[in-house]
Structure 1
Amino acid sequence: MTPLEDFAAAVSARAKGRIRGSVALDMPDLGRLYVDETGATESDRDADLTLTATSQVFRNIVEGSQNPTTAVMTGKLKVDGSPMRALKVGEILSAAP
């Protein structure tokens, strides 16, 4: 399993049935995941919301060691779309599946 596939599996566990609409997790150092209520897949598809950060920042959010709101406020996580929606997605990704 590649690092991106491994990350997609972790995100899918949290996102399935909980994400409304679609979100792109753009990791310039690793790749791009398209996430919706069915889970996460590697894809360049357009999404309702795009979050951009390094793969380590996203991994830290999923593992619970990085607060998504703090990541946005410190410039580690960039949001293209609704900031309120981004906060909700961040909560879903950082919560236990």
Structure 2
Amino acid sequence: MSQMIDEAVKELNQKTGGSFDGSAKFVVEDEGTIMLDGEGARAADEEAEVTMTASADTFREIFEGELDPTAAFMSGRLTIDGDMGQAMKLAQAL
């Protein structure tokens, strides 16, 4: 597991506080995978309602609030597979 994944897990847990009522998977290219659900964020690769894939730089910008997730999706920097409703709820939490 990479340091970037460790930091992202901590940040997601701080932002969501385990209150996300769905399941989401973040696939960070060349780094690893993060799961987020009602139990919080963790480094894991499991089934999820929505899967988001992007580079480490793109996710870092999203997590730090420098890049809006919707803008990342519309510009092609973020791909989303699965339940768009869950993706929208997650975008609001970030």
User: TM > 0.5 between the two?
Assistant: yes
2:18 alignment partner in structure 1: 17
The 5 Å alignment of 1:17-96 reads 17-93=18-94
Structure 2 letter corresponding to 1:37: G
Q: TM-score, normalised by structure 1?
A: 0.86
TM-score (norm 2): 0.88
Aligned length: 93
Q: After superposition, what is the alpha-carbon deviation per residue over 1:7-56, rounded to whole angstroms, capped at 9, x for unaligned?
A: 11011111223311210000122100011122111111111110111111
Cα distance in 2, alignment partners of residues 26 and 39 from structure 1: 16
**What is the percentage of aligned positions where both structures have the same residue?**
31
- Can you give the 5+ residue segments of structure 1 that lack an aligned partner in the other structure? none
List runs of 5+ in structure 2 lacking aligned partners: none
* Structure 1 stretches of 4+ moved >6 Å: none
Deviations 1:49-82 (A, max 9, x none): 1011111111111111001111010111101112
The question of whether the paired residues in 2 share the 8 Å contact of 1:15 and 1:37 is answered with: no
